[in-house]
Chains A and B, each alone.
Chain A
Amino acid sequence: MGNDFQIYDSLVDVVFFLSVEPENTFKFVQVNKSFLTTTGLKKEQVVGKYVHEVIPQPSLSLVLSNYRLAIKEKRTIKWHEVTDYPSGTKYGEVTVVPVIDDNGKCTSLVGNVHDVTDLVNAKKKSEEALLAKSRFLDIAAHELRNPVASLYLMLQVIDRQIQHGNPIDHEKIVELLHPATRLNRLVADLLNLSRLEKDVVKLDLGLHDLHHCIVGWIKELELIYPQRKLHFQAKAKEVLFAFDALRIYQVFTNLVENAVKYSPVTSPIEINLEDLNGEVRVSISDKGEGISEKMLENIFDPFSRGGVDIRVRHTGLGLGLPISEKIIKLHHGTIQVESKEGEGSTFSFTIPKKALP
């Protein structure tokens, strides 16, 4: 086999050649390049080694029993295999062919593995995405149904008042505005995300002082949440660069409102503005309940509001963070979160300080 084996190096699939050793054991005689890149093993860790020294359990038992079956029945054996290699968990479709010598004895095996890891992972991802979408639909239906239900009921009440010749209650009309406003906000969030996902949003860049903007935004938020203490800290007094003030305002208020929502009324919220080398960093920290590691994993993915419990009242569709992430990305920046359960969370975004184009 020797040097001839090199021709298998150009194959995408994994190819290996095994010798049949005493006591039903097997040794790797040759492997192609793809074997090494797929597993992340070095040639000296494989060639000349016994199969049981290379392939970990639980795959090893399956592999050995299939090799033995191929020899015993003198036929090609195929199976699916999942194995943890240094390069990660690999999914493969394996085929092993026994090589029979002139005396009818099987002295070696030739194997081929078609790596389907990417396929399997893509399938898993799409299944997860489907699940997340259906969870999102549950929440969306519920969130939309509540204001619709109250609008529907109240309109019927008003209709009855009119039918009975009673004067229309002005208060009732004003009350109609609450569910209508809620509906409006939910639909705006959906539209916003949909536009951002389709990449049809163009930033309206202008030269602004972010420090000055934040001071104004905090004043506004303090009017909405008078019971909350918003501490603002900034070393630089003027941070002038080009950004879309309306969009960054959206990100900023979303992060502050999350902090308000997920931390106790009495705890302060720290807001920090740092003027770094060529970029600015804004961080918002709360001393709230924090976020579990599982939720942190995909907190910026739309439709993934981690660990969604349909029995818990959600306010809104949970699209604030995905929308914020997309806006920051449009500014060529990054958004991060650090959190510890029971201690609180810090959300921050960093954007490059650019001049007007």
Chain B
Amino acid sequence: MKKVLVIEDDKSMLDAVAMILKFEGYEVCTARNGRLALEVLKDYKPDLILLDMVMPEMNGWEFAENYAKKFEHRTPIIVLTGAADPVQRAKDVQAVGYIEKPYEIDELLKVVSQSILGPK
């Protein structure tokens, strides 16, 4: 089962994404900000990270910087963003892709499955 870590501060958003991905057969782990995500990553190696950028305590930029510095494994990141410059944001954190908020379930699933090659 492929594993996805979702980092998003908006609880309803986080719950909805987690539910959709679980329904599609992914194993899902969640974190409400970058700092909590770094904690999770200490003993969890996901196949994909979905990353919201603007979050309290530790935002997406700080998370990506810390993740690159402190961890050896490199999990591809997809940025979840409502900003006017999604491409720039994806570049900022060396993400493999981005999803613009608000998005359709099918779009989310397409980007996730494309980013995680191989069986679920």
Contacts and interface: CB of A to CB of B under 8 A. Distances in A.
B54 A312 contact: yes
Contact of A153 (B11, B61, B84, B102): B102
A313 interface: yes
A311 B19 CA distance: 27
Interface in B1-24: 9-13, 15-17, 19-20
A324 B11 CA distance: 30
Given A175-B15, A310-B54, A312-B59, A146 B82 contact: yes
Contacts of B9: 313
B90 interface: no
A146 B10 contact: yes
Interface residues of A, number: 23
A154 B12 CA distance: 8
B101 interface: yes
Given A148-B102, A152-B102, A157-B20, A141 B13 contact: no
Contact of B12 (A175, A310, A313): A175
A15 to B, nearest CB: 52
A178 interface: yes
A247 interface: no
Interface in A139-159: 141-142, 145-150, 152-154, 156-157
A138 interface: yes
A145 B101 contact: yes
B68 interface: no
B10 A156 contact: no
A307 to B, nearest CB: 16
Given A142-B54, A149-B82, A313 B20 contact: no
Main secondary structure of the interface of B (DSSP, over half): loop
Contacts of B59: 311-313
A157 B24 CA distance: 12
Interface string A288-315: 0000000000000000000000111100
Contacts of B103: 149, 152-153
Contact of A178 (B12, B20, B56, B82): B12
Interface string A117-145: 00000000000000000000010011001
B77 interface: no
Nearest to A154: B16
Interface of A: 138, 141-142, 145-150, 152-154, 156-157, 160, 175-176, 178-179, 310-313
Interface of B: 9-13, 15-17, 19-20, 53-56, 59, 61, 82-84, 101-105
Question: What are the 7 tightest A-B residue pairs by CB atom distance, in nearest-first order?
Answer: A145-B82, A149-B102, A149-B101, A150-B13, A152-B102, A150-B12, A153-B16
26 contacts: A138-B84, A145-B82, A145-B101, A145-B102, A146-B10, A146-B13, A146-B82, A148-B102, A150-B12, A150-B13, A150-B16, A152-B102, A153-B16, A153-B17, A153-B20, A156-B104, A157-B19, A157-B20, A160-B105, A178-B11, A179-B10, A310-B54, A311-B59, A311-B61, A312-B54, A312-B59
